[in-house]
Amino acid sequence: MADIVVIGGGHAGCEAALAGARMGLDTLLLTLNLDGVALMACNPAIGGSAKGHLVREVDALGGEMGLAIDDTMLQSRMLNMSKGPAVHALRAQADKQEYQNRMRTALLSQDHLTVRQGEAVSIETENGHVTGVTTLTGQRIPCSAVVLCSGVYLRGRIIIGEASWDGGPQGLMNASRLSASLEELGFALRRFKTGTPARIDVRSIDFDEMTRQDGDEPVEPFSFLTDKELQNTHSCYLTWTNEETHRIIRENLSRAPMYTGSITGIGPRYCPSIETKIVRFAEKNRHQIFMEPEGRVSREWYVQGMSTSLPEDVQWKMYRSIDGLHHCEIIRLGYAIEYDCIDSRELRPTLETLRVQGLFMAGQINGTSGYEEAAGQGILAGINAALSVMGRPPLVLTRDMSYIGVLTDDLTTKGTDEPYRMMTSRAEHRLFLRQDNADIRLTRISYELGLASRERMERTEEKAAKAAEICRNLKKKHFPVSEGRDQWLTRHGQPISENSYSASELVKRPGITLKDIAEIYPDLNAYDRRAVELAEVEEKYEGYLEKEQSAIRKARVMETALLPEDLPYESIEALRLEARQKLEAQKPRSLAAASRIPGVSPADIAVLMVYLKKNGFYQQTGEKEEEHV
């Protein structure tokens, strides 16, 4: 007997199980293989563009991913530093085996959490509500909620050239029976596809033919709780495909599963295989390839940018055509994997399914790709599974609150016809939803749910207070004409004038940072680095952030206009037929969510607003609900 059963021990399952247990619910994590817990089946890294934002948000909500990567990182870099702070993104290489061990330790030492190896074959329901899970060995586990985090394992099929077999990633078994149970419950399953490149023996790589890529110093941690000094211990290396590589691939496209029809699943647009790149970008004569270490003692190196399912003999020729890999030895071949997933529009924004109460889904089962997207969904689904068992109101993260909110809203209102990847361009409020302020945005929610500790909450409050204090002091501090001030202006390429400038005015200038201003205003050196970082962005982009907040306030009018689940859309004749059908199928939570459903026009929303007011359905959340729930 358990309150919550989490099926699957990948990145979504780990966060879901930890969230449920940390909220005091007896939670069982059921995984096909304990050796596959938190497996980095593809790239050995955490973070990246937009993904780094998700990790920081998972951390702010009380999750484990940020702490785990800080403890096991090999190299860390902040990406997009030539651009504005909205798109700055942290990415770290991990020792993939250490990462697994670190996450498994967190699971096994967590109170209220049991981890067990086994295969779930059916989800039991009664009167439309989850009642339990049955395993392959016949055990029935009664429970009040299930979080399904099946990753790529549902009827997983591995494809390498003409060869294919049923299985999961990296030689693990697949889950061959649970799909039938989902279909019996009414879910229409579809096939998506992802893939991975070969792993190369480091002793066969000629790094002298590549360009070395070092990490940043000092290292910026992912977790807001990490205080220890982190060290880069490894470098990555850059190389390129060439005309010979492209010739080998083009001449063997007739044997490529992507083009022979043996792969039917839909692959990711933003992480295509190398054979897809060669076809789609035929005008390019080379593509970037990054060589990335998989561990401190592992001899395997990951060939980032060369995911493939080409036949084995072609893979050997293709990889060996690249500078630095002319004598490479392949340890593991690249492969594609097809798997079952659902239409994410069958989910509420809480990640509970519309069809079955108490059944939540997170990760690649919902059509997403990436460890970070999975973790973000996992912690949200775990939180809401626990809240549902406790009979408490659910947590809904809206688009103006977090990247996790953008992710879940996109999935549940728009759906996805291909593996979904989070990108900063998907977030309309990205200047507000930065990675540096994820704790300010979300820790209060986590604390009130019982996930974040009092210590974490106090640290967040102190950071916010200190940042606000810095901003006030920047406005008060003025620099009149003086020799020292003018020398500073000249040194930093700024024009000299007879005007007196405040520190606030100076930091708003392009290229000027608070570190620069500290040269003439040393009081800034007394503040914590994270508070200074937050204050700098808040002050430098003050006007833009005020406009962003104004836009958010206006959008919340629609976001907080909640729609009853039993609203009779089919009988609202003034709505167009397409709008009626789509609204009835998806049952959006709010007017804003309804407006984002493809096929629902602004005219339909106007009709809906009139109907709501006329029939007394119109309701809005209160201030606290608007912020947190």
Interval 376-393 mean pLDDT:
98
- Mean predicted confidence (pLDDT) in 85-93: 96
What pLDDT score was predicted for residue 625? 36
Tell whether the model's pLDDT for residue 286 goes beyond 70: yes
CATH superfamily of 4-194+339-449: FAD/NAD(P)-binding domain (3.50.50.60)
The CA distance from 138 to 116, in Å, is: 15
Give the 3-state secondary structure of residue 489: helix
pLDDT tier at 618, thresholds 50, 70, 90:
low
pLDDT higher than threshold 90 for residue 593: no
Question: Which CATH code of 1.10.10.1800, 3.90.1150.10, 2.40.160.10, 1.10.3720.10 fits the domain covering 462-545?
Answer: 1.10.10.1800
pLDDT at 602 (0 to 100): 81
Give the residue from 232, 234, 235 showing the smallest Cα distance to 211.
Answer: 235
pLDDT for position 622 = 41
280-289 mean pLDDT = 94
Instruction: Give the integer Cα–Cα distance in Å for 622 and 234.
Output: 51
Q: How does residue 130 score in pLDDT terms, banded at 50, 70 and 90?
A: very high
Q: To which residue do tokens 């977030």 refer? A: 427
pTM of the model: 0.93
Asked whether residue 629 carries a pLDDT value surpassing 70, the answer given is: no
Looking at residue 46, what DSSP letter applies?
Answer: E
Instruction: Inform me whether the pLDDT recorded for 223 exceeds 80.
Output: yes
**pLDDT computed for residue 620 by the predictor:** 52
What are the start-end ranges of the H helices in 403-541?
403-409, 438-449, 454-476, 483-491, 503-507, 514-517, 529-540
pLDDT of res. 112: 98
User: What pLDDT is stored for residue 356 in this prediction?
Assistant: 98
529: Cβ–Cβ under 8 A, 6 or more apart, which residues? none
- Each domain of the chain, given as residue ranges in start order, spans 4-194+339-449, 199-336, 462-545, 560-628
**Cα–chain-centroid distance for residue 335?**
23
Q: What is the pLDDT of residue 332?
A: 97
Residue 372 identity (one-letter amino acid): E
pLDDT, tens digit (0-9, with 9 covering 90-100), for 402-438: 999 999 999 999 999 999 999 999 999 999 999 999 9
Residue 626 has a pLDDT of 37
Of the pLDDT bands very low, low, confident and very high (cuts 50, 70, 90), residue 138 is very high
Per-residue pLDDT, 517? 95
pLDDT digits (tens, 9 = 90+) for 317-352: 999 999 999 999 999 999 999 999 999 999 999 999
Shared fold status for 199-336 and 560-628: no
Is the Cβ–Cβ distance between 78 and 232 less than 8 Å? no
560-628 architecture in CATH?
A: Orthogonal Bundle (1.10)
Residue 619: per-residue pLDDT: 54
In angstroms, what CA-CA distances link 422 with 70, 137, 238, 346, 425?
22, 38, 24, 20, 9
- Find where tokens 């408490």 sit: 392
Q: What mean pLDDT, rounded, does the chain reach?
A: 94
pLDDT of residue 621: 46
| Confidence at residue 607, expressed as pLDDT on a 0 to 100 scale | 86
CATH architecture type of domain 199-336? Beta Barrel (2.40)
3-state secondary structure 94-126: ECHHHHHHHHHHHHHCCCCEEEEECCEEEEEEE
Q: Which residue did the predictor score with more confidence, 458 or 554?
A: 458
Residue-wise pLDDT tens digits, 471-506: 999 999 999 999 999 999 999 999 998 999 999 999
Average pLDDT over residues 383-401: 96
pLDDT tens for 37-74 read: 999 999 999 999 999 999 999 999 999 999 999 999 99
What does the pLDDT look like over 505-562, one tens digit per residue?
Answer: 999 999 999 999 999 999 999 999 999 999 999 999 999 999 999 988 888 878 878 8
